[in-house]
A = this chain, B = another copy of it.
């Protein structure tokens, strides 16, 4: 069916939220870990983590500063650092649970049964149970006027990843790490590699990358 903008505007609120959140296709599932200057930690799941650039290495995510999760933004602006931790199939339920509105003073690490871990490189907490973890420094806050959201940009200062998952060409085997993909707001999916395709050139058909 053809669903018009008018029909979307007329949808019941939760129905519309589910529908529109389905439109980008499969999404990243990452836990963002932060800490304030007093040592209070926060952990929140995000499905909007996006690649910004490789050199310098930059990543971003979309944030509604006036809605849940409220602490992520305040902590990042307070201490200037955050972590991005891949969600895998063994922790997806705990990761989802971080989206509950816990009272002030309750850390989602404790409430959801995940373990804060620290390295000397950065003061923000990593998720001990995550297999691919990135430490970042705040770089830029980009306001989106259309709906008062923010694109938060961080520069990669550290990546913690098992050696065995890094392929010879530099790609990380995120399927091997059991990193999940998200649909809409609540669907968690494992993946199955179809194939990798070589760098596309105009004068030849697409080729499969050998294993």
Chain A residues near B (Cβ < 8 Å): 1-5, 8-9, 11-30, 47-60, 62, 84, 86-87, 89, 92-94, 96-103, 106, 111, 119, 121, 132, 134, 139-140, 142-147, 149, 151, 153, 155-163, 166-167, 169-172, 174-175, 179-181, 183-184, 186-202, 205-206, 209
A-B contact list, 18 entries, CB within 8 Å: A4-B121, A5-B156, A18-B170, A21-B171, A23-B57, A25-B86, A25-B181, A27-B27, A92-B197, A97-B206, A101-B202, A146-B155, A171-B187, A174-B183, A180-B194, A188-B193, A188-B194, A192-B192
Contact of A144 among B52, B94, B155 (CB under 8 A): B52
| Identical subunits present | 2
Closest to A180 in B: B194
Having A97-B205, A146-B153, one finds 8 other A-B pairs with CB under 8 Å, namely A24-B49, A24-B84, A25-B174, A26-B179, A171-B187, A188-B195, A188-B197, A189-B194
* B52 adjacent to A146 (CB under 8 Å): yes
Report B-chain residues with C-beta under 8 Å of the C-beta of A30.
Answer: 24-25
* A19 adjacent to B166 (CB under 8 Å): yes
* B17 adjacent to A54 (CB under 8 Å): yes
* A1 adjacent to B161 (CB under 8 Å): yes
Report B-chain residues with C-beta under 8 Å of the C-beta of A171.
Answer: 18-19, 21-22, 183-184, 186-187
